[in-house]
Amino acid sequence: MKRGKGMKFVGDSRISAERKPNIPKDYSEYPGKTEAFWPDFLLKEWMVGAVFLIGFLCLTAAHPAPLERIADPTDTGYIPMPDWYFLFLYQLIKYQFASGPYNIIGVAVIPGLAFGALLLAPFLDRGPERRASKRPFATGFMLLGIAAVFYLTWESVVTHDWAAAEQQGKIVEGPEVEIDQEAEGYQVYAGQSCINCHGENLEGGPAAPPLVNLDLSPDEIKDIAHNGVGTMPADQYQGSDEDLDKLAEFITSLKPEE
């Protein structure tokens, strides 16, 4: 290649005056050592890419993403957990110096410094040396970064409450109770709003607990039906006192068979 002296330029100094036609070079001088970018190399790249793409497609079809139960905004005990490749960031914001009032440190400052340094590395480290042992700073910071990522990921895995996580992904199944849908009490239940939240078989729903095997007296249930409890709104029962008696008796009768 001609460079510097003897090279003629047009107005734009990057374009040589002697333009060469865009014909691939003759590579026969170096058999097996090199090849034309277009189409030989690109075709190979594309074929490898296609194999991976189809592989990923098959993998996602065979293993659909695991889903937990329907999101429940009233469940304040839910512990969200990021995917494994973000666990180190997740762990970082659990430390006192990086959480609460110092959240900005864990969320922006530390990751910003780390990834910013990675971004600026080609500009900061301009030495011609390529061997890792001759570049103590670049190598040192990189090893430090890798060690930190591994340590934080490991730490987040061992400190996570996996037993609780196992439970929160599931609908808690109540004890098996036979529901007699012909019973008078059930007719009252189904005729009221109760069924919308507590479910067709009183099994509970995403936002309401099951109504089987309760430790409540009929009077307490009648009170709840009128006045609500906790997050259950009041005035859910709209009917006669007689029917409410039947409903309360019915709910208290729902006990698992011994």
The residues binding ligand HEC (CB under 6 A) are 192-194, 196-198, 207-209, 211, 214, 216, 221, 224-225, 229-233, 236-237, 247
Contact 204, 198 (CB under 8 A): yes
Closer residue to ligand HEC, CB minimum distance, 92 or 198:
198
What span, in angstroms and rounded, lies between the C-alpha atoms of 95 and 105?
A: 10
Q: Least distance in Å: CB of 228 to ligand HEC? A: 7
- Shorter beta-carbon distance to ligand HEC: residue 152 or 211: 211
User: Minimal CA–CA distance to 216: which of 258, 243, 244, 253?
Assistant: 253
What is the distance between the alpha carbons of residues 147 and 185, in angstroms, rounded to a whole number? 64
Q: Which is nearer to ligand HEC, 16 or 74 (CB)?
A: 74
Nearest distance from residue 224's CB to ligand HEC, in Å?
A: 4
CB of 109 to ligand HEC, least distance (A): 40
Answer positive or negative: Cα dihedral of 93, 98, 101, 105: negative
> How near is the Cβ of 177 to ligand HEC at its closest, in Å?
14
Radius of gyration of the chain (CA): 34
Using the minimum distance from each CB to ligand HEC, give the nearer residue, 16 or 227. 227
Q: How far is the CB of 176 from ligand HEC (least distance, A)?
A: 17
Closest residue to ligand HEC in the complex (CB): 230
Contact 195, 201 (CB under 8 A): no
The position carrying tokens 């922006």 is 108
Q: Considering beta carbons, is residue 105 or 216 the nearer one to ligand HEC?
A: 216
Decide: 110 and 92 in contact? Cβ < 8 Å: yes
